[in-house]
Amino acid sequence: MAEKRKISLVLADVDGTLVTEKKVLTERAQTAVLHLHEAGIRFAITSGRPAKGMAMLFDPLKLDTPISGFNGGLVIKPDLTIIEQKTVPADVAAQAIELIRSHGLDVWVYRGNDWLVGNPKGPHVEHEAWTVKFEPKVVKDVAAELDLVSKVVGVSDDLAAVQRCEADARKAFGGRATANRSQPYYLDVTNKDANKGVVADFLSRHLGIPLEAIATIGDQPTDVPMFKRSGFSIAMGNAPAEVKALATVATDSYNDEGFAKAMERFILGSS
C-alpha cells in the first residue's frame, strides 16, 4: 500500500491522535514511528499546543523535522530554535477575547513563550499544565498586552457554547484570523495563515516532498485543512463523523492504538 501511494512523509496531530486520552505515547505508537524512519518515511507533528508543549515527544520519536505548534502559528526546530512565527494582530486578539467572553467561555492567551490565564482554577487549566509540562502565568487581565500573541483560546465544558462561539468567530473575523476547535472544549484563534493546511504546505516546501506524497492523520476539525492538502488522509476512530467524512480512510480510536494501527496498515503495509 505504501509503495502504491508513494508516501514520503507522515504528518500527525498529537492530542486525540498520536497520544491516548491520558496523553500517553504508547510503546506501539513509538515503534510505529521508528519503523517509518527505518522505511525512509519522514515523520512530523503539528498541534494546537505551544511548540515547547510537545518537547517530551522529540527524543522518543527521534524527530528531525520542523515542529509546528499553535496549528502552524509557530514552527521550531527540535532544539527549540524558531523557524517561522505568525502572530494574531492586536485588534483581532482584542476582538477575539471580547467575543469569547460574550459566549461565557474562559480565555487563555499565548504570547511569546508565556501561557497567560486569568483564572488558574478555570476549566482545563490544571490538565493543560500537566499535558504541556509547564505552568501558566496568572495575570489580572489577559487582554492587557496583545502584541506578539500566537493564539487566543476560548475554554469551556459547555461544548455547544464552544461550537457556537466558533461559528460566530468565523463570521466575525472572516479572512483576518483562523478560528477552529482543536478539541470540543477549546476554540483556537490564530493568525489567518496559521492552520494545519499551511503546515502541510510548509513541510512540502521545506523538505522537498510533494503534497501528494504526504499522509496526514488527525481527529478534529483543525485537522481537516491538512487532510485537504495531503495525498492521503486518515481520521481517528474517535473523530467526529464530519471529520471522518473528509478523510480518505479511518482507523481505530486513540485508546485502541488507532495511530499505530494506521501506520502499520495504511503506510507500512505490515498488516
Domain limits at 58? 2-85+194-267
- Residue 67 CB partners (closer than 8 Å, separation 6+): 44, 45, 46, 51, 54, 58, 75, 76, 77, 78
Q: Does residue 1 surpass a pLDDT of 50?
A: no
Percent pLDDT > 90 in the chain is: 83
Q: What is the pTM of this model?
A: 0.84
Q: Of 165, 191, 217, which residue is a domain's last?
A: 191
Mean pLDDT in residue range 102-110? 97
Question: CA 146: distance to chain centroid?
Answer: 22
CATH assignment at residue 24: 3.40.50.1000
CATH assignment at residue 124: 3.30.1240.10
Percent pLDDT > 70 in the chain is: 98
| pLDDT per residue as tens digits for the range 204-223 | 999 999 999 999 999 999 89
Confidence band, pLDDT 50/70/90 cuts, at residue 111? confident
Same domain, 224 and 256: yes
Q: How many domains would you assign to the chain? A: 2
- pLDDT at position 243 is 97
30 φ/ψ angles, rounded to the nearest 5 degrees: -60, -45
- pLDDT at position 270 is 52
Mean pLDDT in residue range 56-62? 97
Mean pLDDT in residue range 166-179? 94
Q: Does residue 139 surpass a pLDDT of 70?
A: yes
Q: Among 73-77, 120-124, 205-209, 215-219, name the one with the lowest average pLDDT.
A: 73-77
| pLDDT per residue as tens digits for the range 32-57 | 999 999 999 999 999 989 888 999 99
Confidence band, pLDDT 50/70/90 cuts, at residue 174? confident
Identify the DSSP state of 71. Answer: G
Same domain, 57 and 105: no
Helix, strand or coil for residue 189?
A: strand
Give me the residues paired with residue 138 across strands: 117
